[in-house]
Structures are given as structure tokens and as C-alpha cells.
Amino acid sequence: MKDLSLMTWKEIKEVDKAKSIVLAVMAPIEEHGWHLPLATDLLEGNFWSKGAMEIIEKESDIQCYYLPTFPIAAASVNEFYGSIHFTMSTTCDVAFGLMESLYCMGFTNIILIASHADPQHQIAVEKAVRKINKKHGLCAFAPMGQIFMGVGLKKPLELEVFEKEHSNDFHAGWVETSSLLAMDNNYVREVYSGMPDSEITDRDMISRKKQLAAMGKYGFLGAPRYASHEFGVQLNENCIASIADAVIKFYKRDGYQKYEHYFLYKILPLHIGFFSTFGRVRRKKGVK
Ligand SMILES: [Zn+2]
């Protein structure tokens, strides 16, 4: 795998595009509680992408390229201290511009890794993917929305059972804390094991006010105290294998469809953020 940005334009011109894929990560710099860094989603996107590229190059003749990460994303809750968000329209424009630039270089297997599960982000990215595929023919693919919805490869039974028992873990809870513990435990502040659970149902997740109330003074939604290195290894491995599966299938243009369209895209009220009156980013000056 090679970092496209460290190559010269002449070297890129010589790449066999038909045998190549390019991965780009788009995720926010965003608060993740008292215990995880702002770059959590970017770290996840990079770690999963690199892991997937390793598998892809081992299991196929595909040559993998990647770009530096794009810390640009949309989110439904903006006003928490520390977050840097953009509108759905900006996110969609950046995703489109990024992918069309790669298309103009000759790449026709462009994979956008949107490693931030918020529906606003997933919909903004998918809108850009639909637009570019309509304009230039099928050349781009963003499988993370569907992987977050659980369509990827089967998880180990123990993890699946635990997930069912401790669901509603949406943001910086045991899932993300485990994931980062398994990447590098220096990313995680020890305070995670002693914080109270923050409870919210998936139904209440559609209300920004209820999300903010549940986040309280901490900024997470879920139960970080259950996090473990072992769960993190399993979660990361499953995500990496699912991305590799999706990308290889897309490259072959065979069997990738289950990853293709984000399930919640068809829910029209979730597109409201594309209108400037509703979609502004609510930035608020924090207290010191
Ligand atoms: Zn996150």
C-alpha cells in the first residue's frame, strides 16, 4: 500500500488504475468524553483502512493507495466543547471534490471510509457518492454506513451476545473505548473505568436535545466502563475484515451491493440538514 500524496504526479500517471483502489478517510475532530481523544474517529478510520489494505493486498492482486485523512464531517450534535464540525452540504461538496479529483487522475475504484456513524455524515457522504456515480459511471463506494448498520461479516458469538445486552452504546462508550484500547492503550485515559453509564434509547437519538442531556458533563453516550482490550481486538478485526470484503467485492463488481446504500438514506427527514436554515453548525463558545 502506498500513500498517494507522497508520490509525484508522474508516478501516479503510470499506475495501472484498473488494478488499483484508493481509500480516503473522512471523519470529524470531535469530543469523545473525558477519556478518548478528539481524533478517535480518524484514528479508527486509519487503523481499519490500513488493516483492510493489508488483507486486500494479501488476498488479491489489487494495489492499494490511500490519502492523508480528511478531518471533515457533519454531525447532529455540534455544540459540545472541542468539536469541529461542518454542514452536510460542505461535507458532501468536499467528498464529491475529493472523489472527482481521483476520478480525473484515472482511478475508478474510489473507496470513501466515513468512519463516523452519525446519519448526517453518512447521508452527506452517500449523496456525494451517488452524484459522482451518476456523473461518471460506477467508480466510488462508501461502505461504512452499512458496516455500522451490521451488514458486515459475522462477529464472534461472545461479542454479539454482549452487544445485545449492552446496546445503545452510540458515542465513546464501551465499543469505541475498546477499539482504541486495542489500537494503543495510550490513547485512552484511565478515568473510563469509573464513569457512570449514560443512558439513551435509539429512539431518543433522533432528538439533539435528548442526546445533549444524556451526554451531560462527560460527552459520551453508552457505557465506557465495560471496555476491554479483548473486545477491541474483536471489534477492530471484524470491521477490518468487513471493509476488505466490501472493497474486494466492489473491485470485482460482484456481491458488493449489500454494502452500497446506507440504510437510513431513504429517510427523508434526515436530509433536512442540507437546507441552510436547518443545517447550520451550532457552534457555541465554551466556558473556561
Ligand atoms: Zn466516534
Quote the ligand 1 centre to 41 CA distance (angstroms).
5
Query: Cell match 451490521: residue?
Result: 150
DSSP 244-266: HHHHHHHHHTSS-HHHHS-GGGG
Quote the ligand 1 centre to 138 CA distance (angstroms).
29
Quote the ligand 1 centre to 257 CA distance (angstroms).
25
State residue 255's pLDDT score.
Answer: 97
Quote the ligand 1 centre to 107 CA distance (angstroms).
29
CATH of 7-275, one of 3.40.50.10310, 3.10.105.10, 3.40.50.620, 3.40.50.720: 3.40.50.10310
* Domain extents in the chain: 7-275
Beta bridge partners of 24: 112
Please state, in angstroms and rounded to a whole number, the distance separating the CA atoms of residues 170 and 161.
Answer: 17
Neighbours of ion ligand 1 (CB under 5 A): 40-41
Taking residue 265's Cβ as centre, other Cβ atoms within 10 Å add up to 16
Residue 146 near residue 119 (C-beta atoms within 8 A): no
Quote the ligand 1 centre to 28 CA distance (angstroms).
8
C-alpha cell at 262: 446506507
pLDDT digit string (tens) for the chain, length 288 residues:
999 999 999 999 999 999 999 999 999 999 999 999 999 999 999 999 999 999 999 999 999 999 999 999 999 999 999 999 999 999 999 999 999 999 999 999 999 999 999 999 999 999 999 999 999 999 999 999 999 999 999 999 999 999 999 999 999 999 999 999 999 999 999 999 999 999 898 889 888 899 999 999 999 999 999 999 999 999 999 999 999 999 999 999 999 999 999 999 998 888 988 987 788 899 988 865
Please state, in angstroms and rounded to a whole number, the distance separating the CA atoms of residues 31 and 134.
Answer: 35
Reading phi first (left if > 0) and then psi (alpha if -120 to 50, else beta), residue 112 is in beta
State residue 287's pLDDT score.
Answer: 67
Quote the ligand 1 centre to 278 CA distance (angstroms).
23
Q: Which of 127, 282, 288 is nearest to 211 (CA)?
A: 282
Sheet with 140-141, strands from edge to edge, namely: 2-3, 63-66, 20-25, 110-113, 140-141
Element (H, E) at 124: helix 119-136
Angle at the Cα of 251 from the Cα atoms of 249 and 253, rounded to 5 degrees: 65
Q: Phi, psi at residue 229, to the nearest 5°?
A: -60, -40
Quote the ligand 1 centre to 104 CA distance (angstroms).
32
Say how many residues make up the chain. Answer: 288
